[in-house]
Amino acid sequence: MHRTPRPWRRRLDMAFATHCLVRCLSSSAARHAAIKHITVIGGGLMGAGIAQVAATTGHTVVLVDTSEDILKKSTQGIEGSLKRVAKKKFADKPEAAAEFLQKVLKNISTNTDASSAVRSTDLVVEAIVENLKVKQSLFSSLDKAAPEHTIFASNTSSLPITDIASATTRLDRFGGLHFFNPVPMMKLVEVVRTSQTSQMAFDALTDFTKALGKHPVSCMDTPGFLVNRLLVPYMMEAIRLHERGHGSKEDIDMAMKLGAGYPMGPFELLDYVGLDTSKFIIDGWHAMEPENPLFAPSPMLNKLVAEGKLGKKTGEGFYKHKKTL
């Protein structure tokens, strides 16, 4: 049998070992590369909340929206929220409260040009309107501007992450980060992976979530992920019970609060979430799976939305409220 001469064998062994070491160190560095700089697209309630939490935990944040007026309102909202946090955290230490406020606000800058804002970022979190084409258009343009290592994430609560990611060339660096409102208060974040999200990207998103002081739960890219997949059909079934005359909204709400220990009944929750939001979600799911009875639309819900009765934000939904819009 022919054997490789010993000197050549040693060289081959050393080359192979060096190659393995480089690969190991490279993958290890990538795996442990912390997300430090994030860009949040969307200065609404969710986007501002995400920016606030990230800045509070020491991340450098760029908050992006289409106009300076929107961003001014966003930063004012963040400042107001931080003042409330500081007042509670440093009740008897006004100087410490002021220092905390300035330190956090120093971590936040704003920009109306999304493409320029992502040129040196580690993570992009999108929190704009729940419209697939709009999200795809945004990510398509950002994909051309962001560095190769940048991970993309959507805060969508109902659209498939896979469909949003399809507009980009970084399918392995794309996932979901579904925060809950109000972001500074709610601990849960659904970390969503598609069939093409790499383990490295998923781990980075999970580690980032933990760095924010949140509790991540792993989700696959299915309708509603975990929370909304259970919550929305539950609320829709409550409406159907009422539509069939099997219970008043007041009795159904009371039954779930006293019998199941829920803090809100389904109709109270629908009004809080917004009837238009619930209708948008269920209509989207129904379009994807028209044969699924859990996703069937509701005539009563459709009627209320058509009448502009959207819940607490408009002053009336299933109940009457003090108008907030």
The pLDDT value given to residue 11: 52
292 a catalytic residue: no
Catalytic residue (choose from 155, 157, 278, 298): 157
The pLDDT value given to residue 10: 55
Same CATH topology for 37-220 and 228-314: the answer is: no
| Residues ≥6 apart with Cβ < 8 Å to 194 | 161, 162, 165, 171, 174, 175, 221
Q: Please return the burial class of 17, using the count of CB atoms within 10 Å of its CB with bins 0-12, 13-18 and 19+.
A: exposed
Work out whether strand 174-179 and strand 188-193 pair parallel, antiparallel, or are unpaired.
antiparallel
Quickly name the fold that domain 37-220 has: Rossmann fold (3.40.50)
The pLDDT value given to residue 91: 87
Task: Supply the DSSP symbol for 150.
Answer: P
107 a catalytic residue: no
CA distance readout (Å), 308 to 311, 312, 313:
9, 11, 10
Least Cα distance to 316 among 259, 255, 275, 256 occurs for 275
The string of DSSP codes covering 205-220 is: HHHHHHHTT-EEEEEE
Beta bridge partners of 220: 193
Kindly report the pTM of this predicted structure.
0.85
Is 228-314 CATH 1.10.1040.10?
yes
The pLDDT value given to residue 32: 46
Q: What percentage of residues in the chain have a pLDDT greater than 90?
A: 86
**Where are the domains positioned within the chain?**
37-220, 228-314
Determine whether the annotation assigns residue 185 to a binding site: no
120 a catalytic residue: no
Q: Which residue has the higher pLDDT, 13 or 203?
A: 203
Determine whether the annotation assigns residue 130 to a binding site: yes
Q: Tell me the one-letter amino acid at 105.
A: L
Catalytic residue (choose from 155, 228, 278, 298): 228
190 a catalytic residue: yes
Among 28-37, 146-155, 216-225, 282-291, which is the least confidently predicted range? 28-37
- pLDDT of 24 over the 50 cut: no
- CB distance 225 to 176 below 8 Å: yes
Catalytic residue (choose from 74, 126, 155, 190): 190
Determine whether the annotation assigns residue 47 to a binding site: yes
What three-state secondary structure class fits 35?
A: coil
- pLDDT of 25 over the 50 cut: no
Determine whether the annotation assigns residue 157 to a binding site: yes
Determine whether the annotation assigns residue 116 to a binding site: no
The pLDDT value given to residue 6: 56
Determine whether the annotation assigns residue 176 to a binding site: no
The per-residue pLDDT for range 195-228, each reduced to its tens digit, is 999 999 999 999 999 999 999 999 999 999 999 9
The pLDDT value given to residue 146: 98
Task: Supply the DSSP symbol for 87.
Answer: H
- pLDDT of 117 over the 90 cut: yes
Q: Tell me the one-letter amino acid at 68.
A: E
The pLDDT value given to residue 31: 46
Residues 101-126: what's their mean pLDDT?
97
Determine whether the annotation assigns residue 279 to a binding site: no
What whole-number distance in Å separates Cα of residue 62 and Cα of residue 8?
54
Catalytic residue (choose from 178, 268, 278, 298): 178
The pLDDT value given to residue 260: 97
